[in-house]
Chain A
């Protein structure tokens, strides 16, 4: 056990800090959350800056276009960019944090060469077409069909809650390639170009009023067979790789962001006098313990993945379960800090975040599903109903 960083890691941190301090002041203002094309442009421009400076795909393998950095360096990257207030991955989320790593782990050399560099350069945006109206938690119940026709699959069905679908170039798509096989066995993982004929994207509005995600209708969409990652009907295994990246690493930077928010809440409470309320003060103190512990848990998980290498383990479910709850507690406390006069004002910071935080115990596998995973796959309790 030690918390010391190596000299090389400290150098990396210092270099990154200096770079961030130099470039961040020149960034344009953040676009409105409702303006998807502007958001895409902003997020991909940031990705391009990272790429040009040598910070894109830090922890990806070198032969996948990455920098081959250690998980610890990646952690430092997430920590420093968040602390400096750098832009969030935003529209690059799926490509960088789970589709890309999945292709790097499971794709052929050709697939890696085709798809990974544009993700790193910020040229292409990915979305995730896993969930369907009748297959959310029970993901393997998906029904979208892919029928082979020569060198293509012909895909028909419907996906839902597809984040960033409006502006995505590619979709990591789960399809059923064998309708007769047991439900986990007949699935394949495809990369679908979003401009293919037969795709209709219909934005859905969230309770926050924004169009974060969409319904995607697929009507005889032709997807080349060579776009399949992994073997035909072996898509469930590939999906597990994707989900472990999603749960294992995708929220790490956000813990740092929550720490910043907590500091800001304390500052606001001191300013507006609510700090004198010991109940609220102690509540913020408890959240401090929570986010510190989540950060330390992240460090522990990173240390472990550095030992074992590769795909994050199911321990990500423990993190996801606890983090999603803590985030909601944070914004409940924010409403207390804002008080009745501020908590309903959409122009105030944190008001919409309180609402958005409710998605965290649903998206990427609900808390109930995470508990099932922890109980069955970590604690070894029997499967059941």
Chain B
């Protein structure tokens, strides 16, 4: 039992950090902002070549053959760097939507619940509804749903994009479209839409009225987990930015970080990040729906609150377009509304409490699967 990273995992993470440092530095970030967050196809292919999308496909299918814990580490780095694009959906589509694994295709997801769709105009495919993908590996081997059958592509996609109105996005790194147009087109594909199923949990969780009802359990869980990883990366980064600024900015003849009011804000940022990190890594190992809900809830909170505190510590400078902190905050807000909202997570977590909640996945299970 050890929640520390293995040497291989550390190497994977630092490799990703180095790659992003090289291909997506601050200049590239600001250029992406200027472009309105649209996907840089060249960069997308580089990410594909680096294995970000194919990470969990079996090697015989051209993938990297790693598991959720490794995926979580890479998405944490992506969140840290504020890498734009529908990274999670494309990763989930790898093996099922042609070109996704290689970074040739940009795949986004329709989450329903009235939520706008991200990166619709540039998407080659949109995941829509149940039976889209059960398990990418299974899909490839033919036991799952055939590639593409639950993804809107080609003409159907083009027609629905033409109908979907753009939204002036709060997050300059995430272009958004209203979903109604494509929701209609998707209806044909998504018959008998299942609720978000948490296996083993009756009642409350499956009765949720939320945006994620459009997907079967595993897909939604993985989407939530990887989004939580991006949130954790962002929370870690804003803590570093805050501490860095607090060490160097001087007022009253001293670094502001020597003032206790500032120190305590920073300490609370770390105290939000570290429990969220432990919860996230554990959730990646167990893939347990309740653990994932906990990880998403805490990572969302860490990302949003840390970005706000970071902005506060930067003072007036923090409230400028020039400073990156607003970019972290806006994406953190947006991600918090994706796959599992706080309300949904809390209901899942509540349903898992107490002796009368039916078969709850064992919290202290002796031997959990390692990813």
A: which residues have CB within 8 A of B? 1-5, 9-10, 13, 72, 75, 79, 83, 259, 262-267, 270, 278, 281-286, 288-290, 292-297, 299-300, 302-304, 306-307, 315, 318, 321-322, 368, 370-372, 374-376, 378-385
Contacts and interface: CB of A to CB of B under 8 A. Distances in A.
A303 to B, nearest CB: 4
A332 B16 CA distance: 43
A3 B291 CA distance: 13
Interface string B224-260: 0000000000000001000100110000001101111
Contacts of A3: 1, 3, 282, 285-286, 365, 367-368, 370
Contact of A303 (B4, B258, B350): B4
12 contacts: A1-B2, A1-B69, A3-B286, A3-B370, A10-B366, A264-B354, A296-B3, A300-B278, A368-B264, A371-B264, A372-B267, A379-B267
B298 interface: yes
Given A281-B347, A371-B268, A293 B279 contact: yes
B190 interface: no
A266 B350 contact: yes
Contacts of A284: 349-350, 353
B80 to A, nearest CB: 17
B266 A375 contact: yes
Contact of B353 (A13, A83, A285, A381): A285
B263 A299 contact: no
Contacts of B343: 282
Contacts of A278: 347
A13 B365 CA distance: 11
Interface string B6-43: 10010000000000000000000000000000000000
Given A288-B290, A288-B350, 14 more contacts: A5-B367, A283-B346, A288-B294, A289-B293, A293-B279, A296-B278, A318-B270, A371-B267, A371-B268, A374-B270, A375-B266, A376-B263, A381-B258, A384-B260
Contacts of A299: 1, 3, 278, 282
B267 A285 contact: no
A297 B278 contact: yes
B261 to A, nearest CB: 10
Contact of B274 (A297, A307, A375, A376): A297
A1 B5 contact: yes
B275 interface: yes
B197 to A, nearest CB: 18
Given A286-B346, A299-B1, A4 B367 contact: yes
Contacts of B352: 288
B246 A292 contact: no
A15 B3 CA distance: 25
Main DSSP-derived SS at the A contact region = helix
A92 to B, nearest CB: 24
Contacts of A303: 1-4
Contacts of B274: 297, 315, 318
Given A1-B285, A72-B1, A288-B350, A370 B370 contact: no
A307 B263 contact: no
Interface stretch (B102-110, B175-183, B324-332, B355-363): B355-363
B345 interface: yes
B1 A293 contact: no
B354 A270 contact: yes
B4 A307 contact: yes
B100 to A, nearest CB: 26
Contacts of A296: 3, 275, 278-279, 281-282
Contacts of A83: 364
Nearest to B268: A371
Contacts of A381: 243, 246-247, 255, 257-258, 262-263, 266
Nearest to B282: A296
B263 A300 contact: no
A6 to B, nearest CB: 8
A248 B128 CA distance: 47
A366 B264 CA distance: 13
B132 interface: no
A92 B35 CA distance: 64
B350 A5 contact: no
Contact of A370 (B254, B267, B279): B267
Given A1-B5, A266-B350, A379-B270, A293 B368 contact: no
Most buried by A among B277, B291, B295, B349: B349
Contact of A372 (B260, B277, B353, B354): B260
A282 B346 CA distance: 5
Interface in B166-189: none
A263 B1 contact: no
A302 B1 CA distance: 9
B3 A300 contact: yes
A304 B4 CA distance: 7
B263 A285 contact: no
A379 to B, nearest CB: 5
A295 B277 CA distance: 12
Nearest to B262: A381
B279 to A, nearest CB: 4
A322 B349 contact: no
Nearest to B283: A296
Contacts of B277: 300
Interface string B52-72: 000000000000000001000
B348 to A, nearest CB: 7
B249 to A, nearest CB: 12
Given A281-B347, A303-B1, A303-B3, A322 B279 contact: no
Nearest to A373: B267
A375 B1 contact: no
Contact of B350 (A282, A294, A378): A282
A384 B69 CA distance: 40
B266 A379 contact: yes
Given A1-B5, A321-B267, A379-B266, A292 B279 contact: yes
Given A263-B354, A379-B243, A371 B263 contact: yes
A322 B272 CA distance: 8
Given A281-B347, A289-B279, A382 B2 contact: no
